Amino acid sequence: MADYEKIKWCKARKNGIELINPNDNLAKEYIDNAEETLVILKTIKGKSNMWIAATKYYFEYFAVYSVLMKLGIKSEIHDCTISLCGFLEDECIFKKGVFARLTRDKVLRIKNQYYLKNIPIDADYDEQLEFLLEIKDAQEKMTYEQIRSIRSRINKM
């Protein structure tokens, strides 16, 4: 469930949540970046928990950000982007679990990248590919009416 107060807070922040023109080209570029990152993730499996954590998180982040670009929502603060995932779950754009997944993987990235915790990371390629396909499917199924409604709800917050 989305934290609507956090979304309101993010809207008031510089580089937080901002409505921009929906952009299918940028949405595709973010999907392309996610696909490229997934290939990299597959090649580093078993080599470095720090880089696996960072790569896995950014793969997921690029995938969900592609949906934001299709919606015309800009967010340069990661916690704000993740909060939008909860909102998009409530709006039935994302399946339940996207918010929790990004939240968990962001924490693992920070622990491994900044605090050198060397926590083992589960980065099953098939599971990640399934996640990407679900995001692409959600993006393709979005209707103009859904996009308009979501933008309106965010604008009113």
How many CA atoms, within 13 angstroms, populate the side-chain half-sphere of residue 86?
Answer: 14
> Which whole number is the average pLDDT over 108-118?
94
> How far is C-alpha 151 from the geometric centre of its chain's CA atoms?
17
Exposed / middle / buried, residue 127 (Cβ in 10 Å: 0-12, 13-18, 19+): exposed
Alpha-carbon distance of 71 to 19, in angstroms, equals: 9
Write out pLDDT tens, residues 131-143.
Answer: 999 999 999 999 9
Which numeric CATH code is attached to 4-156?
1.20.120.330
Write out pLDDT tens, residues 60-103.
Answer: 999 999 999 999 999 999 999 999 999 999 999 999 999 999 99
**Element containing residue 68 per DSSP (H, E):** helix 49-71
Alpha-carbon distance of 72 to 19, in angstroms, equals: 6
Bridge partners for 19 per DSSP:
73
Bridge partners for 101 per DSSP:
none
Alpha-carbon distance of 43 to 21, in angstroms, equals: 36
pTM of the model: 0.95
